[in-house]
Each structure stands twice: as C-alpha cells, then as structure tokens.
C-alpha cells in the first residue's frame, strides 16, 4: 500500500495581522502600562503589609516561628508572583488582541483567537508551586519537628 504524500499543516491566519504596526504599538503601550500599574500596586500592598507588621512588632515574631515557617511564606510569595508573571505573559497576546478590538472597532476579525496554552501554563506553574511547597515542607519542617521530638 503506497504512502500518502505529506502536506504542510494548515494554519489559521493570525488575528493581529489585520492591524498596522502603529495600532499594535499603541495597544502594547497601553498593555505595558497596565502591567506596570499592577506591579506598582502589588509592591505597595506588600510594603503596606510589611509596614503593619513592623509597627505592630510582629515582624520579629514572624522570624521566631522557625525557619520552616519563613521558608513556606517565602515559597508562597514566590509562587504567587510566578503565577502572576505567567498570567500576564499568556494574557499578552489575547490582551493585545482585545485592546485592538476595542480601540479599533471598525476592523472585523475573521476568527476568534483561542488555544489552551494559557490553561496549560497556569496549571504547570501551579503544580511547580505545589511541588516546591511540598519539598520545602519535607526538607525544612519535618526534620525540625522530629529533632524537637527526639530531644524531648
């Protein structure tokens, strides 16, 4: 039985192709300003929380809870920021597309741009965060708990 000849995969046209370079630059500028504003807001929230902890005298109490608790807090913060980073990254293309649709309404898109890479990346970051959390739990907290149990 003879083999069929190979065909190049058919790909849909990029929905952003219908917009000019300047349209995309304007949309990217607005999108980047949203990201910077979000980063400044998150930084302000963290500084406010740290300020409250220092004023209330809880900052030193936090470090007295043990290295495991501090490590888990740091891992949680890092995972949250990685999640936000991936979220902004995967929303970039769709975000630019939505901005172009809103800013330049007179242009019609042929087909809605959709794929599941966003979901896959978010699940991957979540799983990496859970794995880091569990490894930190096993490496830091459990040995310190058992050392205290053996010492008693």
Cα(68)–Cα(62) distance, rounded to whole angstroms?
11
> What's the pLDDT at 133?
85
Q: Which helix (H) or strand (E) segment is 79 a member of?
A: helix 67-103
pLDDT at residue 127 is higher than 60: yes
The more confidently predicted of residues 55 and 96 is: 55
> What's the pLDDT at 111?
38
Q: Which of 144, 2, 136 is nearest to 77 (CA)?
A: 136
Cα(32)–Cα(92) distance, rounded to whole angstroms?
9
Q: Which of 71, 67, 79, 73 is nearest to 130 (CA)?
A: 79
pLDDT digits (tens, 9 = 90+) for 43-74: 888 888 888 888 988 888 888 888 888 888 88
Average pLDDT of 120-141? 81
> What's the pLDDT at 16?
78
Q: Please state the separation of Cα 59 from the chain's center in Å.
A: 27
Domain residue spans of the chain: 19-151
Residue with tokens 């849909």: 12
Q: Which of 88, 60, 79 is nearest to 128 (CA)?
A: 79
pTM of the predicted model, to two decimals? 0.51
To the nearest whole percent, how much of the chain has pLDDT over 70?
86
Tokens of 107: 């242009």
> What's the pLDDT at 1?
65
Cα(17)–Cα(23) distance, rounded to whole angstroms?
11
Average pLDDT of 10-36? 81
């Amino acid at each position: 039985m003879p083999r069929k000849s190979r065909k190049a995969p058919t790909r849909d046209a990029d929905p952003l192709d219908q917009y000019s370079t300047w349209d995309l630059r304007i949309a990217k500028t607005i999108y980047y300003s949203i990201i910077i504003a979000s980063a400044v807001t998150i930084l302000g929230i963290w500084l406010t929380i740290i300020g409250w902890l220092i004023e209330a005298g809880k900052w030193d109490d936090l470090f007295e809870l043990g290295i495991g608790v501090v490590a888990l807090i740091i891992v949680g913060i890092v995972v949250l920021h990685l999640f936000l980073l991936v979220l902004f990254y995967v929303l970039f293309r769709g975000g630019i597309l939505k901005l172009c649709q809103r800013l330049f309404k007179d242009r019609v898109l042929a087909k809605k741009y959709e794929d599941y890479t966003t979901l896959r990346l978010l699940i991957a970051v979540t799983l990496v965060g859970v794995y880091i959390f569990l490894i930190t739990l096993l490496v830091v907290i459990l040995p310190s708990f058992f050392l205290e149990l053996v010492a008693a």
